[in-house]
Amino acid sequence: MAKRNRPDVRNAVHRRIRRKVRGSTERPRLAVYRSLNHIYAQVIDDEKSQTLASASTTEKDLRGSSGGNVAAAKRVGQAIAERALSAGIDQVVFDRGGYLYHGRVRALTDAARAAGLNKGEILAREAEAAEKAAAEKASADEASAQAASAKEKSAKAKKGKSSKGENAGEARAEAGSEVKEAKEPKAGGAKAEAVSEAKEAKEE
């Protein structure tokens, strides 16, 4: 397998992304590029090959103490969103430039969304999250109700078994007393007969 350096890999990924992501007049492309010390953002109309707005940490107002950190990326994201909104653009297609979606790239795009770009997507995501939470809550309530009904059924079953056991114990006790009563008269009669026979034998 051929070894490739990072810029070659990033360019290959970016070419693959650009085959799918294309900016239009209604929804231009927000392209992000980052270097070691700076980060750049451009709003591009690919149909007219025109840059509509741009911002980067090479500007003194956006650089801060360093242009290569997350705080600077957030400032650039907020600035590009404000400039795009002032140009009448509120919907864009994000082009991460072949970079992984984390760190400064993610901070820039999140700041742009928070500043007002693609507000419809944010509202849709919030509505979807609310629906998902409601569905999870409903399923949890249903599961708890099922667990409660199962618990109640098991309690009823245990109660029924205990009442059956008590009835069986009472029946056993009654049967034992009847047997005892039946045995006692027989034993008494046998003793009386034995006593009478002993008396007769003595008299003879």
And the tokens for 121? 């997507």
* 115: helix, strand or coil: coil
**Model confidence at 167, in pLDDT bands (50, 70, 90)?**
low
Predicted confidence (pLDDT) at residue 143 exceeds the cutoff of 80? yes
**What H or E segment, with its residue span, contains residue 31?**
strand 29-34
Q: Model confidence over 93-129: pLDDT tens digits?
A: 999 888 999 999 999 999 999 999 988 776 777 778 8
Round to whole Å and give the CA distance between 199 and 183.
Answer: 25
Q: CB of 39 within 8 A of CB of 72? A: yes
Q: Model confidence over 146-163: pLDDT tens digits?
A: 888 888 888 887 776 666
HSE-CB of 158 using CA atoms within 13 angstroms: 6
HSE-CB of 147 using CA atoms within 13 angstroms: 6
Q: CB of 94 within 8 A of CB of 81? A: no
Round to whole Å and give the CA distance between 107 and 69.
Answer: 10
Round to whole Å and give the CA distance between 62 and 72.
Answer: 7
Angle between helix 103-114 and helix 119-203 axes, rounded to 10 deg = 100
**Residue 57 neighbours by CB distance under 10 Å:** 26
Instruction: List residues bridging with 30 in a β-sheet.
Output: 43, 94
pLDDT (0 to 100) of residue 158 = 77
Q: CB of 13 within 8 A of CB of 98? A: yes
Which domains are delineated in the chain?
6-117 (3.30.420.100)
- C-alpha separations of 46 from 17, 53, 59 in Å: 14, 13, 25
pLDDT (0 to 100) of residue 162 = 64
**Residue 112 neighbours by CB distance under 10 Å:** 27
The radius of gyration of the chain's CA atoms, rounded to the nearest angstrom, is 44
